[in-house]
A and B are shown apart, each in its own frame.
Chain A
Amino acid sequence: MRLGFQQLDELLRGRKTAPPQLADGKVDLPLRMFVPLAIGLGAVYGFFMGWYAISGRSQPGYEQLIASTVKLPALFLLTLLVTFPSLYVFNALVGCRLSFTAMLRLLVGAITVDLAVAASLGPILGFFTLSTQSYAFMVILNVALLAVAGVVGLGFLLQTLRRLTAWVYWRPPVAEPADAAQPPMPSEPGPLEVVPGDYPRETLGAARSIFRIWVLIYALVGAQMGWLLRPFIGSPDMPFTWFRAREGNFFLALATQLKNLAEGR
C-alpha cells in the first residue's frame, strides 16, 4: 500500500518519466503496481460519482453506488483492452518503435495520471452531491471534472511520448554559472513539461502523429464503451439497472440531442 503511494507520487511528480529514466526506450512503470493503482483511483472517483444515488433519496440506491465504483475503472481499462492491438499496430507502422511492454506501461501510466487527478477532484464532486437534486447539474459537473482530468492525462501521454521517441537526443542540462537575473531552473522537470533538447523534426512529428491516432481511436471506443456501461450516475427517474438496454450508440444520442437543441426543445 505504502509502496503503491510512493510509486504513484513519483509518477505524478514526473520522476518516473524523467528523460534519464526513459533511456533505451524503457518505461519503468510496472503493471503489477500501476494497474491496481488505476483501479483503486478510478474506484474512488466512481464512489463519489455513485453517491448521488443515495444522497437525499427516500430509497437509497446502494447498488448504483457499487456499480459506479466498479464501472468507472472498468471503463478506462476495458477500453484499453479493446484498443490496445490497434494502437500497437499503428505505433509500429508510424515508426515510434516503442516495444510492446513499454507501450502498454505508458498507456496504463497515462490512465493512472488521469484517474489520480479525477480522484483528487472527487471531494468537490462529493460536496456538490450533498446539496444537489438536479440530475443535469451532476452530469455537467462530472463531465467538467473528468475533462480536467482528461486534459492532464493527455498532456502526460504526449510529453512522455515525445521524451520516449527522442530520448537519444536528450542532453543533461549543462551546469551554467549562476546568473542573478535568470531564475534558477527547477531541478527536475514535471511530467507535463517540454524537455529542452535538440530534437530532429521527424521524431517529434512521429510522436505527434502517433499521439493523434491513439487519442482518436481511444476516444471513439471510450465514448462508446461509456455508453455501453451506462448508467454511471443514475437518473433519479429510472429504477436501478446494472446496464441499460443496449439501444443506439453514443454518437446517435449526441446527434439526437443536438437536433433537439436546434429545434428549440
Chain B
Amino acid sequence: MVLRPLLVHADGLLRGSGAFHPARAAELPAWTFPLITLAFAPLYGALMGSFHFDSAERIRQVAYSGIKMPLLLFASTLVCLPGFFVLNTVLGLREDFRQSVKAILAGQAGLGVIVASLGPLTRFFYFCTSDYRAALLFNLAALAVSTVAGQFVMLRYYRVLIRRNRRHRLMLLAWLGLYAFVGIQMAWMLRPFVGDPTMRVSFFRAEPFSNAYVVVFRLIFRR
C-alpha cells in the first residue's frame, strides 16, 4: 500500500520528472526527500551489516547498520547546516535558502535510492567471499559510486539556483567540502558498519572515538 507510491516517488526523483521536475521543486514539500532517504538507505545498511551472518547475535549488526546509514547522512547534515546557513546569508542568497536545502536533501534521497539498488550486489559479493578486507573495499566502492551519482540528482536542482545567481556555485562547492569533511569523520565514528567477524557485535566500537584524519595521517607517516 505504501510501497507503490514510494517506488513511484523514487522513480520520479531519479528521472527528475513529474512532481520532481527541478522547475517545480518549490511546490514539493521538503519532507518528501528525507522520507525517501529514510525508506531506502536502511535497506543498504541492513544488507551491508549482513556480512558475517552466522549466528542469531549477528542480526543485531544488521539492525544497527540499518539504523546507522540514515543516521550518518542526517547527522552530518545537521552539523554542517548552521555554517551553511550563515554563509548563504552573507552571500545574499538567503531568499533561496529553502531551495538550497531542498536540493541538498534531494541529493541525499538520490544517494539513498541508488545505494539501495546496489545492496543486492553487495549481498551477492558477500556470498562469493569471506574476506573482511575485500568486503570493506567493496562497500567503500559502492558508497563512492552512489555518492557521486547522488550529486547528479542534487546538481539537477542546484542548476536552477545557479542560473538565478552564480554565487550558488560557490555555495555548492562549500557544501560539498563541508559535508565530505564532516561525513568522513561521522562514518568513522559510527563504525562498525560491516562488522568485523573477529569482533563482538556492537553499536559503537568499544574504543574511545578517534579522528579519521589523524589516523590516516599516522598511517601514511607511520607514527
Contact = CB atoms under 8 A, between A and B. Distances in A.
Interface stretch (A78-86, A184-192, A207-215, A220-228): A184-192
Interface stretch (A31-39, A117-125, A165-173): A117-125
Given A113-B90, A124-B182, A189-B92, A134 B163 contact: no
Interface in B87-129: 87, 89-95
A152 interface: yes
Contacts of B86: 12, 116-117, 120
Contact of A120 (B82, B163, B208): B82
B87 A127 contact: no
Given A13-B92, A128-B211, A186 B185 contact: no
Contacts of A123: 78-80, 82-83
B210 interface: yes
Contacts, number: 86
B164 interface: yes
A205 interface: no
A218 interface: no
Given A124-B182, A131-B210, A183-B164, A193 B92 contact: yes
A74 to B, nearest CB: 22
B189 interface: yes
Interface in A65-122: 113, 116-117, 120-122
B211 A117 contact: no
A248 B102 CA distance: 51
B63 interface: no
Residue with the greatest number of chain B CB neighbours at <10 A, chosen from A14, A130, A186, A191: A186
A20 interface: no
Contact of B165 (A120, A127, A137, A186): A186
B182 A127 contact: yes
Contacts of B182: 124, 127
A14 B208 CA distance: 44
A121 B92 contact: no
A141 B53 CA distance: 40
Contact of B211 (A12, A116, A131, A183): A131
A152 B87 contact: yes
Contacts of A113: 90
Nearest to B163: A183
Nearest to B81: A123
A132 interface: yes
Nearest to A9: B89
A252 B82 CA distance: 37
Contacts of B167: 190
A51 interface: no
Interface in B69-85: 78-80, 82-83, 85
B211 A134 contact: yes
Contact of A12 (B89, B185, B210): B89
Given A124-B182, A127-B182, 8 more contacts: A120-B83, A120-B85, A127-B79, A132-B214, A137-B211, A137-B214, A192-B90, A192-B92
29 contacts: A12-B89, A13-B92, A14-B90, A117-B83, A117-B86, A120-B86, A121-B83, A122-B82, A123-B83, A124-B178, A127-B182, A127-B185, A131-B188, A131-B189, A131-B209, A131-B210, A132-B210, A132-B214, A133-B210, A133-B214, A134-B211, A134-B214, A137-B213, A137-B214, A152-B87, A183-B164, A187-B95, A188-B92, A191-B90
Interface of A: 9, 12-14, 56, 113, 116-117, 120-124, 127-128, 130-134, 137, 152, 155-156, 183, 186-193
Across the A-B interface, the 9 shortest Cβ-Cβ residue pairs = A190-B92, A131-B209, A120-B86, A132-B211, A121-B83, A12-B89, A120-B82, A134-B214, A120-B83
